[in-house]
């Protein structure tokens, strides 16, 4: 098949490209902004494989995704499917305009380009956290007017509805990974977002408190001890997206989630063990008024994650289980050992200077 990808230089994109090129005859057309990043991605492939990887310069935030007319003429009428992975994953309110420019307008631009190119299928990679403030995640579109935790979630909800509105032009499927973490076998990751942003904040805090001589004190994080964080390994997500090429159903939403997510208390314990510290705890009472200045700074550093530290969501992934049935891809069973390995892999390769 001829496959067009956005977000190909991202964490998930690199894994998906590997799946789609290894032991196949597919041709991949990778939209890129940064030529050095794109060249680095394809440099790991054999010469024969690189012959089937085509770099297309552009930007999803521009009309026609910034494609030159000569590039559009080359690929028009030839693309079987678009994988739309590109997105801005940040939660701050002051980034609302940028989030909608990238996540919503960018999606609109690639949809319009897909129509112009005569694409047959459109695979939109969203997020399981379009669930917003609900406790149950379903494999259906959510109400755009519901309450959401941040502009990132809002931009992705709006984008899902936008994708659905193009269903008369081509087959559309929506894939919603939860919190994407490192490879389930190696722990390898290339991400600064979500879990990795949280771990980096705790690592920085440790360095600063030790430097200041503030040891022996327990610092409280506002959250829910029994709340859960839904981690999915990047290879599991990439495997499902690859299988979708042959099995995805039209107008269907797929939650790519963990049926047995760890609790926030467990995660904090494992991170502390990896950091060789035992100074953090989670407290449930949002009304705590006596936070020290250090505790206030710590909670401020992880403020963008606060809503997720207080939630516990059950996701239905029946459509995904049906997609992978009989394929050789096992339904996710992410063990404690695997999560600890993923956490340890981050701290083994990433350190904040003291």
The one-character DSSP state at 275 is H
DSSP letters, 23-90, are: TS--EEEEEES-HHHHHHHHTTS-HHHHTTEEEEE--TTSGGGG--HHHHHHHTTT--EEEE------
The residues spanned by each domain of the chain are 2-181+230-256, 195-229+261-313+335-346
Give the CA dihedral 336, 337, 340, 344, nearest 10 degrees. Answer: 180
309 vs 221: CA distance, rounded Å: 9
SS3 of residue 322 by DSSP = helix
For the stretch 127-170, pLDDT in tens is 999 999 999 999 999 999 999 999 999 999 999 999 999 999 99
Q: Give the CA diameter of the chain.
A: 66
20 vs 5: CA distance, rounded Å: 11
Residue 353 has pLDDT above 70, yes or no: no
Confidence of residue 315 (pLDDT cuts 50, 70, 90): very high
The radius of gyration of the chain's CA atoms, rounded to the nearest angstrom, is 21
Residue 188: count other Cβ atoms within 10 Å of its Cβ.
16
**CATH classification code of 2-181+230-256:** 3.40.50.720
Confidence of residue 354 (pLDDT cuts 50, 70, 90): very low
Burial class (CB in 10 A: 0-12, 13-18, 19+), 276: exposed
Confidence of residue 34 (pLDDT cuts 50, 70, 90): confident
């Amino acid at each position: 098949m001829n496959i067009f990808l956005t977000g190909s230089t991202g964490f998930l994109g690199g894994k998906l490209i590997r799946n789609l090129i290894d032991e196949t005859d597919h041709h991949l057309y990778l939209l890129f902004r940064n030529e050095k990043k794109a060249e680095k991605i394809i440099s790991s492939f054999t010469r024969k494989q690189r012959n089937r990887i085509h770099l297309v310069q552009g930007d999803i935030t521009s009309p026609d995704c910034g494609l030159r007319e000569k590039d559009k003429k080359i690929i028009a009428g030839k693309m079987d499917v678009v994988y739309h992975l590109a997105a801005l994953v940040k939660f701050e309110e002051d980034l609302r305009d940028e989030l909608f420019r990238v996540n919503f307008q960018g999606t609109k631009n690639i949809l319009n380009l897909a129509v112009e190119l005569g694409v047959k299928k459109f695979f939109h990679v969203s997020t399981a956290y379009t669930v917003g403030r609900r406790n149950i995640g379903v494999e259906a579109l959510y109400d755009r007017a519901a309450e959401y935790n941040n502009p990132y979630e809002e931009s992705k909800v709006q984008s899902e509805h936008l994708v659905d509105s193009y269903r008369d032009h081509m087959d559309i499927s929506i894939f919603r990974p939860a919190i994407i973490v490192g490879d389930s076998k190696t722990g390898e990751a290339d991400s600064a977002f979500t879990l990795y942003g949280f771990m980096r904040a705790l690592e920085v805090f440790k360095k600063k408190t030790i430097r200041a001589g503030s040891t022996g004190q327990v610092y409280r994080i506002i959250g829910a001890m029994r709340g859960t964080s839904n981690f999915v390994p990047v290879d599991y997500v990439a495997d499902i997206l690859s299988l979708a090429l042959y099995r995805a159903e039209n107008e269907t939403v797929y939650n790519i989630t963990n049926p047995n997510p760890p609790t926030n208390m467990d995660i904090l314990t494992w991170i502390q063990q990896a950091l060789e510290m035992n100074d953090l705890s989670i407290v449930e009472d949002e009304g705590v008024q006596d936070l020290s200045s250090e505790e206030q700074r710590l909670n401020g550093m992880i403020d963008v994650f606060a809503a997720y530290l207080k939630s516990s969501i059950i996701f239905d992934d029946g459509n995904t289980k049906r997609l992978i049935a009989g394929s050789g891809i096992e339904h996710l069973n992410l063990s404690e050992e695997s999560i600890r390995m993923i956490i340890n892999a981050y701290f083994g390769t990433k350190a904040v200077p003291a």
